[in-house]
Structure 1
Amino acid sequence: MGKIVIGTLLWLGIVPFLMGALLLSFLKREEDGAVQCMVTGYLEMFAVCQILIVPLILTEVPFHVFSQMLAVVYLIMAAVGLIRTRKWIWKMMTEMARGLLHHSWTIYMAGGAVLVQAYYYIQYMVTNLDDAYYVAVATTAIQTDTMYRYSPYTGRAVTGFNLRYCLSPFSMFQAALSRWIGVHPSTLDHTILAPMLVILAYLVYWSMGKLLFAKENRQNKEKDSTEKLTGLFILFLSIVHVTSYYCIRNQGSVLLVRIWQGKATLASVLIPFLFYHCYRMKCRPQEKGNMLILLTAMFSCCLVSSMGIALPVVMLGIFALLFGLFQKNSRYFGKMLAGCLPCALYGILYIVLKSV
């Protein structure tokens, strides 16, 4: 049990935080705090996995080779992040400790609501028919030391690749995590990864709230603080989510019932992040690294679901029209088009491999 706790803290807490701090330090975005470090770190983990794994799957590299390569890359990036940003991290941790009891009451209420929602994944488990494929694919990869070479339904070897899943292999990322932490993929998905993804989703919403309610974006700057309004924003979203189970396919439902599935991660974490980041690019065009973070997010979308190759392009297209074409901002319009390149790459690859 102790090894599982340590592995969870390492791979789902420390490593993504240090990876995010590393990237933000290179981009000189030290004004971003611990929340942005964690969110950016997860995006890096997803994007690095996507870039690394697709060629390995298509060349039929064993699963253990991929798992070891990915672990080495993550640990190197985290180690460099710790060395490079240790003073900044210490400063962030010190400021967080000093301000722990000096936040608005809405922040504590919002934090409690989020933790309760995350806890329900630990205490209870909900399964559906999609688990028969996604969890079984991860289990099959570990047991056979292959990636998408055996059917998770029958256990028989397959003659070709199911390209929809091979180009968006989120299950292989989960299989690697389960091997590193030392738990079964089903335990990882339902009990460990799911609550962490719930917290990650609300960290994205926290970032969104701080941007929407920043003083420069509000007419009345004195009535309420940005922190108080952001806490109310999170509380409002929590109420929306916990009352969303009137349909199994809306965003609130997938967030609290099956967020470990790639398409649910796309809907709950990555699409909201794209909304936040594209709006931030419009509000703060002078910031460095906006395009790099956008491309990282788009690669992440491609990892989690085949729908992540198409739907994020729609999101970027909407922002390109609203803040690029309609406002005659050619620079912003060009950035949105450039952000579609990862999705275009995997879309073209799918068409080429399908026609062979």
Structure 2
Amino acid sequence: MIAVKILGLILWLVVLPFCMGLNFTPLFQKRFRNVGAVFAAGYILFFAALEIVGIPVVLFTVYHGLTTFVKWFTPVIFVLSLTGAGIALCGKKRGYGLNFDGFSPLMESSLEEKIMLALFLTLAGFQMYMSFTRASFDGDDAYYGVQALIAQQVDTLYRVNPYTGRSAPLDVRHALALFPVWEAYLGRMCKIHATIIAHSVVPLVLIPLTYVLYFQIGKVLLEGKKRLLPMFMVLIALWQLFGNISIYTVETFFLTRTWQGKSFAGNFVIPAVLWIFLCLFASKETEEEGLIAPKGMNNQGKWIERPEHGRRRKKGFWVLLACLNLAGGASSSLAILLSCLMTAGFGLLLAIRERRIGILIKAGFSCIPGGVYVLLYLALTHGIFVP
């Protein structure tokens, strides 16, 4: 039985999100179509779908909320995953398959790089081990953890006061942040207690996911200096390990409150905005893609991608950013506001650099999902809209 539950967790937390991320491979340039980028993109799409399906269920379903959510959300996840898997199967023939070139330099790296990489893996493994065996508890568990448990056991979403256990009106302040609902959903699908999901399982996924995201950031920042990437990851791991200088730091949330939405906002949503814009700033107009173009042959006899292909595949990051500006709402309403503000600021800088007003338009469109979320939140909290 335990083996079945473990396989279920692998399916819902690794396999399906990765397959969902494959939907973006036709929209990415070759160097950004790696396993880590696809995995991060899959989780962004996962939480965006969580918000799209979950918010109407929370607002309009009083009883059997989790059952209704499972009924609608599960088919959506499987459709997105199967679509991604289908794209991956056809990707090699059409020139947008996964890029595994990054594994070759790893095998050919120097002894120093391998030692630094082993040190990073040791630090990350230690953090995961401590998070699993020394789970900490704080006052917010009385709300967020219990909301997930209530959803699983009472089958209602934000309709019971977690402090008293009594029925209550919809908690409009937290109703749009569906991170506890995600944990309850995992518990329902894998037949595991929601508290175990939150305190023991989620850290084993979100800690590696965060490091995968920082690895992608490092690859862009250290373009041309990949030998420094293992050292960069060691510094990030040490920063996380010794960042507990206050109960309010992102590092404290990362290791002691990993299962809470506020931790996900600070350790994934905000860095994901930085990663996407770093990729947009780093995107080149031409790139070796293996495409057959009439005038695409370079001096070495290799086919290169023409500028229009590079511009087209920059759009994938704008689509991903739009998903992120909605997915952040699963963690906190504040995460939506911050991600949209960062989108506006970085979009302005990118537009100035590229001297293209169209970039501001794309940034504006990518903020529309987050803007709708914010308007709905304001309508709920100010009594304009009462479900």
Shorter-chain TM-score above 0.5:
yes
Compared CA separation, residues 175 and 86, structure 1 to 2 (3 A): same
Give the match's secondary structure for 1:244.
Answer: coil
2:50 counterpart of 1:41 = no
Match of 2:84 in 1: 81
The separation in 2 between residues aligned to 1:194 and 1:88, in whole angstroms, is 32
Which residue type is aligned with residue 116 of structure 1?
F
The separation in 2 between residues aligned to 1:143 and 1:208, in whole angstroms, is 40
Q: Percent identity?
A: 24
The separation in 2 between residues aligned to 1:277 and 1:97, in whole angstroms, is 22
The separation in 2 between residues aligned to 1:118 and 1:321, in whole angstroms, is 38
Match of 1:173 in 2: 182
Match of 1:355 in 2: 383
Query: Shift in Å at residue 79 of structure 1?
Result: 2.5
The separation in 2 between residues aligned to 1:181 and 1:29, in whole angstroms, is 36
Q: Is the 8 A contact 1:259 1:268 kept in 2?
A: no
Match of 2:318 in 1: 291
Compared CA separation, residues 28 and 234, structure 1 to 2 (3 A): closer
Give the match's secondary structure for 1:165.
Answer: coil
Q: Is the 8 A contact 2:159 2:171 kept in 1?
A: no
Match of 1:154 in 2: 164
Compared CA separation, residues 317 and 11, structure 1 to 2 (3 A): same
Structure 2: gaps (5+ residues): 285-310
Of residues 55, 61, 66, the one that matches 1:63 is 66
Query: Shift in Å at residue 279 of structure 1?
Result: 2.3
Compared CA separation, residues 87 and 276, structure 1 to 2 (3 A): same
Which residue type is aligned with residue 200 of structure 1?
L
Give the match's secondary structure for 1:166.
Answer: coil
2:222 counterpart of 1:213 = yes
Q: Summarize deviations over 1:58-115 as a string: whole Å, max 9, x none.
A: 11162112023212221222223223314769x8698788777544413333223222
The separation in 2 between residues aligned to 1:200 and 1:125, in whole angstroms, is 18
5 Å-filtered alignment, 1:246-261, equals 246-261=245-260
Compared CA separation, residues 329 and 29, structure 1 to 2 (3 A): closer
Which residue type is aligned with residue 365 of structure 2?
A
Match of 2:210 in 1: 201
Q: Is the 8 A contact 1:325 1:333 kept in 2?
A: no
Match of 2:27 in 1: 27
Bigger Rg, structure 1 or 2? 2
Of residues 87, 101, 108, the one that matches 2:118 is 108
Give the match's secondary structure for 1:54.
Answer: helix
Match of 1:182 in 2: 191
Pairwise CA RMSD of aligned residues?
Answer: 2.3
Which residue type is aligned with residue 331 of structure 1?
G
Q: Is the 8 A contact 2:34 2:99 kept in 1?
A: no
Q: Is the 8 A contact 1:11 1:177 kept in 2?
A: yes
Query: Shift in Å at residue 305 of structure 1?
Result: 0.9
Of residues 128, 131, 134, the one that matches 1:121 is 131
How many pairs does the alignment contain? 343
Match of 2:146 in 1: 136
The separation in 1 between residues aligned to 2:319 and 2:187, in whole angstroms, is 29
TM-score (norm 2): 0.82
The separation in 2 between residues aligned to 1:96 and 1:12, in whole angstroms, is 24
Say which is worse superposed, 115-124 or 333-342, in terms of deviation.
Answer: 333-342
Query: Shift in Å at residue 37 of structure 1?
Result: 1.3
Query: Shift in Å at residue 25 of structure 1?
Result: 3.2
Give the match's secondary structure for 1:307.
Answer: helix
The separation in 2 between residues aligned to 1:98 and 1:282, in whole angstroms, is 25
Say which is worse superposed, 180-189 or 327-336, in terms of deviation.
Answer: 327-336
TM-score (norm 1): 0.89
Query: Shift in Å at residue 55 of structure 1?
Result: 1.0
Query: Shift in Å at residue 324 of structure 1?
Result: 3.1
Match of 2:292 in 1: none
Which residue type is aligned with residue 74 of structure 2?
A
Which residue type is aligned with residue 370 of structure 2?
C
Q: Summarize deviations over 1:154-174 as a string: whole Å, max 9, x none.
A: 11111x322221111211111
The separation in 2 between residues aligned to 1:79 and 1:314, in whole angstroms, is 34
Query: Shift in Å at residue 274 of structure 1?
Result: 0.3
Give the match's secondary structure for 2:61.
Answer: coil
Q: Is the 8 A contact 1:301 1:309 kept in 2?
A: yes
Query: Shift in Å at residue 338 of structure 1?
Result: 2.4
Compared CA separation, residues 28 and 318, structure 1 to 2 (3 A): closer
